[in-house]
Amino acid sequence: MPIHRPQYLGAFLGKITRRAACSRLTASRAEKRGGGELPLVLDELTECLPCSPSAAQAVEDAELAQMVNRFLHTLPAQACNIFLRRYWYAEPTADIARRYRMTPGAVKTSLHRSREKLRRYLEKEGIL
Amino acid sequence: MTWEERLFLALGEADESLLHRSQHPARRRLWLPLAAAAACLVLVAAGLLYLRQDVRPPAPVTPGTAETPVQTLYLSGGNVGSFTLHQLRWDTDTSADFILYVDETHYRQTVKDGVYTIEPLADMSGLPLCSLEISHQVGITVEDAAALAAETLRASYATVSEPANASIIEGLLVTGSNGTAWDDTQAEVYLVGDRQGGVFILVSRYFLEAAEGHGSRFADMISTFQPVTAEDVGPAWLTELRSLGDQLIPAIFSNDLASVADALAENALIDLPPEAGLSVSAIDYTTDSDQIPTSAAISVRFRQLEDSYDYLTIELSYTEGRWLVTAILLEK
């Protein structure tokens, strides 16, 4: 356990797990293995690419993380929840719909709108 | 590393408070707010759209049928036909009630011996029974009711399933079948808790050839079934949201947005569904907060005849004390 006790232990441990999973995904993609939700999630996130890919590359990873975090705080609570379940937890949309007692269509619509908002947000933040 | 992978990793640094919040469903089903005298129970809609209007005196009970009094509220929904709201009190002590959407252009409703029954308007003489019946039992668990339902079905059906979780509604399902010939009778029994220690029993009966017609329409209606209790009272914004939904849904499905123009935000994005012959199987209301909402979405699942489902999503924002529609989106 870290010296500073995390306020949300579940999320803290989840981050460690997620980083490990990302590393394994990078390795497995290098071996041309695939499957599961992560490839779908990454495919969906392509829509959030700002108009200038080269400018996007110029943004440091830490700066990008801060931008995304600020963006998440602009979303309504439910839209943010759905967005994180999909793109942080890589949860299937059907499971998200069941979790929040929504229709899958409403979940997909919410995700689509949030991705669009993220793209516009990143453009507005200077990734032109 | 690709852009999307960088974005995915950047998302990984999201605030833990946001992650913690997403773990716990913030949404709850938004019950129709119940005034003391208007415990809305059964919402009957021609063309599956509904619009609330004022209450008229109770309709007379059909002689020789129900002992339970039925109060009928006559409603109208623009050009899409007439609507009827029934109020049923199953037990005046527990006041276990429900909401249900019914297609009045194809079905009629009666109450016989305490059983609410929906039957096709079309002449079914010479054909096996097709009906949807809803009854209520107090003081029994859903599991016990399901076991009893299975035992009861075994007396009339050759094959009976074990109770299992229903997919279209929160509850258990037991099915019965008398075979695979076109006129072999089938039954689906849904057991749904009434939130007060009792059970609603929804029985769908049809013959095999009617599975994709009446059978699927009964399933759609069952999907809209919601138990409510007299303690479900909503705040003003919830009443306004449901009231606006009552106006919006018929207006959208009849392509008559002029009647709800005041509720549309400037530059609202609008897709309109096709008209006529629609079967609505679910209407969900979600908000970003149960306390002080700033946005909401009304999701309507519908289909034409036996096609696959389409979804209509109405997005709203709550500003200056009123709801405004910011988008009406169709998704197939």
Was domain B236-331 assigned CATH 3.10.450.540?
Answer: yes
Per-residue pLDDT tens, chain A, 128 aa: give them: 555 556 666 676 667 667 666 666 555 554 444 456 778 888 888 878 766 556 556 668 888 888 899 999 888 878 899 999 999 988 888 888 888 777 777 788 888 888 888 888 888 887 64
Q: Do B16 and A12 touch (CB under 8 A)?
A: yes
Tokens of B77: 């929904």
3-state secondary structure string across B66-96: CCCCEEEEEEECHHHCEEEEEEECCCCCCCC
Domains of chain A and any CATH numbers = 36-124 (1.10.10)
Q: What is the SS3 assignment for A50?
A: coil
Q: Is A87 on the interface with B (CB under 8 A)?
A: yes
Q: Which residue has the tokens 């988008």?
A: B327
Q: Is B8 on the interface with A (CB under 8 A)?
A: yes
Q: How far is A9 from chain B (nearest CA, A)?
A: 9
pTM of the model: 0.43
Q: Is A48 on the interface with B (CB under 8 A)?
A: yes
Per-residue burial over B127-161, b = 16 or more CB atoms within 10 Å of its CB, e = otherwise: ebebbbbbebbeebebeebbbbbbebbeeebeebe
Say which of A22, A26, A78 has its CB closest to residue B12: A22
pLDDT lower than 50: segments of chain B = 26-94, 230-231, 233
The nearest alpha carbon in chain A to B27 belongs to A100
Residue of B5, B6, B8, B287 best to disrupt the A interface, most CBs of A under 10 A: B8
For chain B, the structural domain boundaries read 42-228, 236-331
Q: Which residues of A touch B165 (CB under 8 A)?
A: none
pLDDT for B144-182, tens place per residue?
A: 999 999 989 998 899 999 999 998 888 999 999 999 888
Residue of B3, B220, B271, B289 best to disrupt the A interface, most CBs of A under 10 A: B3
**Domain covering B42-228 in this structure, CATH number:** 3.40.1000
